[in-house]
């Protein structure tokens, strides 16, 4: 398989694995996680806790709204290309369609995403309040107004750099800018979209790197920090906050403290900059061990599914699909659909399963 196609698959599947691993322990403190799953916390996908009754994939580990929105991001990009409209407009329309699936509403205006007809994507999976409120406003013709910086922008961003990187469809600067603009659809605090631009930058670079290393990843992180400093110089305090967290994550990845101690120093991942920083730490700390990176990314007191998703997106772009342990793939809900969407991002064409 083409290396880039494998990396695109790896990033989307990796993100879904991190999401599914962290979803059962979101909103759960570490002591309760350890009581439920053992001293190491949750280490394998839980195929029972959130069983999708009545669906074909009832014995798979289900994903949260993070992966749902990621898939709609991808479908929106491809719809925009097909319909010759701006990519951001296609993404925004797709997000409104996702919002309607969570509300159980059908709309003749917002019905362009073929994945919106799939049962798994019409399940309500703990959608974020800011995303739902902002998209409800757009659906009703109201411009969203908020100062939220939650991780709802960054957890869905991976399809943008993955689409952009193929055949130079977009430069890295254009991809990062689109990623930030897509986050602004729902999250208007600068750290909500600056963190998204940084994650996009890292994924783009890793997907193109034929022989990525831990040192290369460090370089891409700092390069991304430099780029957001230039692009968002009108938000110096927010850029500084993101830069300091990224640098702290790099430093923590080299110490001998426990993952839980290090993650605590970066936050809980509920907001964009903390989610990206935790993902940077886990991807760097366990660059050569996907399983350990996933475990570290979700076993903490915070937004486990989102930190797992972003970690999986980053590390999956580095190692590719084939290098991801098979046991994760076997237990993952919508595995084949996610691969299908990854391949569509690679080809640039919408195809239905």
| Residue range 192-244, pLDDT digits in tens | 999 999 999 999 999 999 999 999 999 999 999 999 999 999 999 999 999 99
Residue in the structure block whose two tokens are 């319909």: 83
Q: Which of helix, strand or coil describes residue 313?
A: helix
Contact indicator for 323, 13 with CB cutoff of 8 Å: no
Contact indicator for 305, 333 with CB cutoff of 8 Å: no
Q: In this structure, how many other beta carbons lie within 10 angstroms of the beta carbon of residue 335? A: 18
Half-sphere exposure in the Cβ direction for 260 (13 Å, CA): 11
Judged against a pLDDT cut of 70, whether residue 2 lies above it is answered with yes
CA 54/CA 278 separation, integer angstroms? 35
Q: What is the pTM of this model?
A: 0.97
Q: Which of 215, 208, 219, 202 is nearest to 288 (CA)?
A: 215
The secondary structure of 249-276 as a DSSP string is: HHHHTTS-S-HHHHHHHH--SSBHHHHH
Share of the chain above pLDDT 90, in %: 95
CA 180/CA 62 separation, integer angstroms? 28
| Residue range 99-119, pLDDT digits in tens | 999 999 999 999 999 999 999
Q: Which of helix, strand or coil describes residue 80?
A: helix
What class is the 3-42+60-141+151-347 domain? mainly alpha
| Residue range 158-182, pLDDT digits in tens | 999 999 999 999 999 999 999 999 9
Q: What is the arithmetic mean of pLDDT over 119-131?
A: 93
Residue in the structure block whose two tokens are 């798994």: 120
**pLDDT band, residue 137 (cuts 50/70/90):** very high
Q: What is the arithmetic mean of pLDDT over 329-346?
A: 97
Q: So where are the chain's domains?
A: 3-42+60-141+151-347
Share of the chain above pLDDT 70, in %: 97
Token representation of residue 129: 């309040």
Q: Kindly calculate the radius of gyration of the chain based on its CA atoms and give it in whole angstroms.
A: 18
Q: What is the arithmetic mean of pLDDT over 269-281?
A: 98
pLDDT, the chain, mean? 96
CA 11/CA 212 separation, integer angstroms? 14
DSSP 150: B
Looking at per-residue confidence, does 126 or 232 come out higher?
232
The secondary structure of 170-193 as a DSSP string is: S-HHHHHHHHHHHHHTT--SHHHH
| Residue range 70-94, pLDDT digits in tens | 999 999 999 999 999 999 999 999 9
Q: Which of 30, 62, 181 is nearest to 126 (CA)?
A: 62
Note the pLDDT of residue 320. 98
**pLDDT band, residue 51 (cuts 50/70/90):** low
Note the pLDDT of residue 59. 85
Note the pLDDT of residue 58. 64
**pLDDT band, residue 50 (cuts 50/70/90):** low
């Amino acid at each position: 398989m083409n290396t880039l196609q494998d990396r695109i698959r790896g990033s989307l599947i990796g993100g879904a694995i991190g999401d599914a691993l962290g979803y059962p322990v979101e909103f759960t403190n570490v002591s309760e996680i350890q009581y439920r799953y053992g001293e190491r916390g949750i280490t394998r996908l839980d195929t029972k806790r959130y069983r999708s009754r009545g669906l074909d994939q009832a014995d798979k580990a289900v994903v949260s709204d993070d992966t749902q929105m990621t898939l709609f991001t991808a479908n929106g990009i491809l719809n925009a290309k097909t319909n010759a409209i701006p990519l951001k407009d296609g993404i925004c329309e797709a997000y409104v369609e996702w919002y309607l699936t969570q509300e159980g509403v059908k709309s003749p205006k917002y019905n362009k995403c073929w994945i919106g007809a799939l049962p798994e994507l019409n399940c309500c999976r703990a959608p974020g309040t800011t995303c739902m409120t902002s998209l409800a406003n757009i659906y009703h013709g109201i411009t969203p107004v908020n100062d939220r910086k939650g991780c709802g922008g960054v957890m869905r961003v991976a399809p943008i750099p993955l689409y952009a990187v193929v055949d130079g469809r977009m430069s890295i600067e254009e991809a990062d800018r689109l990623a930030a603009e897509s986050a602004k659809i729902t999250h208007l605090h600068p750290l909500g979209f600056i963190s998204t631009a940084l994650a996009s930058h890292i994924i783009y670079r890793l997907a193109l790197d034929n022989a990525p290393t831990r040192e290369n990843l460090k370089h891409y992180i700092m390069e991304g920090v430099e780029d957001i400093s230039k692009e968002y110089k009108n938000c110096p305090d927010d850029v500084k906050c993101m830069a300091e967290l990224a640098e702290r994550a790099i430093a923590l990845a080299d110490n001998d403290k426990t993952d839980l101690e290090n993650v605590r120093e970066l936050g809980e991942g509920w907001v964009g900059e903390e989610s990206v920083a935790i993902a940077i730490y886990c991807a760097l700390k366990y660059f050569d061990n996907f399983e350990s990176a996933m475990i570290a990314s979700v076993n903490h007191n915070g937004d486990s599914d989102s930190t797992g998703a972003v970690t999986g997106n980053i590390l999956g772009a580095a190692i590719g699909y084939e290098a991801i342990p098979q046991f994760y793939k076997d237990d993952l809900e919508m595995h084949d659909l996610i691969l299908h969407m990854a391949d569509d991002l690679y080809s640039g064409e919408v195809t239905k399963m």
